[in-house]
Structure formats: structure tokens, C-alpha cells
Structure 1
């Protein structure tokens, strides 16, 4: 009986460990995100080398968020907001409020109606406040 419980505990811990480990793609995306401020053109070139079809949902959401951030830093706009909508759905489902706020900030660049832009920015502000992030750069952009 005790062996069964030990086995179940080990399996549960293994599942959690696998779920929280950074994949090589996620590690690379995280490093690129950190370097984005100083090298947006280089990061854009690096993102272009990834095969998006090989990425899992979390990696795709992060990839699309970084793609929008790179375009914004390079004073360009993505062709449409469909990839950002994928990120928004993903981060909303995971309750990752900081990433959701970032995504909504970039989404606010697409609507033409001021009231829709305002609504997205208010959502972004609200989600940032729900996050535990101390990185106030995105909040400054939202304001």
C-alpha cells in the first residue's frame, strides 16, 4: 500500500517538474525578450529563423508577443492582429496577467476607433495591476 502512494507521489512530482521546465525554445525566447530593448532588429532576424510549426502553445504565444514587440520597436506594424489574438487567448487562459497586459497593449495599435483602443488599454492596465510584475515599462507604454 505504501509503495502505491510513493509511486503516485513520484508520478505527480514528475508531471509538475515536466510542466514547469523551460524548453530550449522557451529559454531562447526568454533570452531574446531580455535582449529586445537593445537589439530589436537582431531579435527580429532571430525570430525569423524559428519554425513556428514546431512550437508548442506556450512558445507560440510568446513568439507572437515578441514578434509584435519587435515590430513596435522597429516602428513597424504587423500585417494583422490575428497572431496577437492567439497570444491573448493563451495568456488569458493561463491567467498570465503580465504577458496578457503586454499583448493587449500591442493589440491596441490595431483598432481604428478610439473607444476600442481605450478599452484595450484599460484591460491592459487592469491586467498589469493583477500581475505581480515589478517591470513598469509596459505600464508606462500603456499610459
Structure 2
């Protein structure tokens, strides 16, 4: 969470500068007002953080550079490490996201695997143990 250490203060500052209410930010990000309140919480124990889609929605819809919300000055040269995007050879976000979607797609279970998982979840604990034993732990 090194990029989010001062996120709560930065979000509140940017929201107030743009004269946006908590309700406005909630609508922009597609979340409940309570979530935005948790993002801005002073008490770290009550603080929440937006997901990547909410963060990007806010930045794109308010034309706010991502660097203004995140702590980017840790010597990383301004490069944001997003898990899953490190494999991309492209500087274009659209291309990187398309590559990420392809990578995720390779790990999605096919129809047969989904059916096996569905049946496994519905069976008894004893049957699950037997299945795991048959598969060789």
C-alpha cells in the first residue's frame, strides 16, 4: 500500500478543490457514499481504499492525473507497479489492459472445469476428501 499512504488526504483535497461532494465522488466511482467516507477517513483503522476501476473512473472522469492521488515519489521514477501489467511491453494503457485481459482469460476455467468445481462444492466433506485422495493430494 505504499502508493496509498496519503491517499485519503489527497482525495479529500482534490475533491474540495473541484467543489465535489462525497455524493458526487460516489456517483463518479459507482460506489456508496460510505465507501468514499472510508477512503477519506483520518483514522487508519477505519480507512478503506478504492479498487483500480474506481480509481481510474475518478481520474478519467475528473481529468485528474493518477500521480496526484498516489504517493509516487519513492524513487521509482514515477513508474506505477500494477500487478499484472508488468508483463506488458506497451506504454499504451488500452493495449496493456487488452494484454492483461488475455492473460486473465488463460486462467479462467473452461466449462468442464466449472462444472467439476460446481459439483465438488455441492458434495459432502467425505466425498471431497475421497476426491482429493484420488487426485493424489
Q: Do these two structures clear the TM 0.5 threshold for a shared fold by scoring above it?
A: no
Q: Which has the higher helix share?
A: 1
Q: Which has the higher contact order (CA 8 A, sep 6+)?
A: 2
**TM-score normalised per structure 2:** 0.23
**TM-score normalised per structure 1:** 0.23
Q: Which has the larger radius of gyration?
A: 2
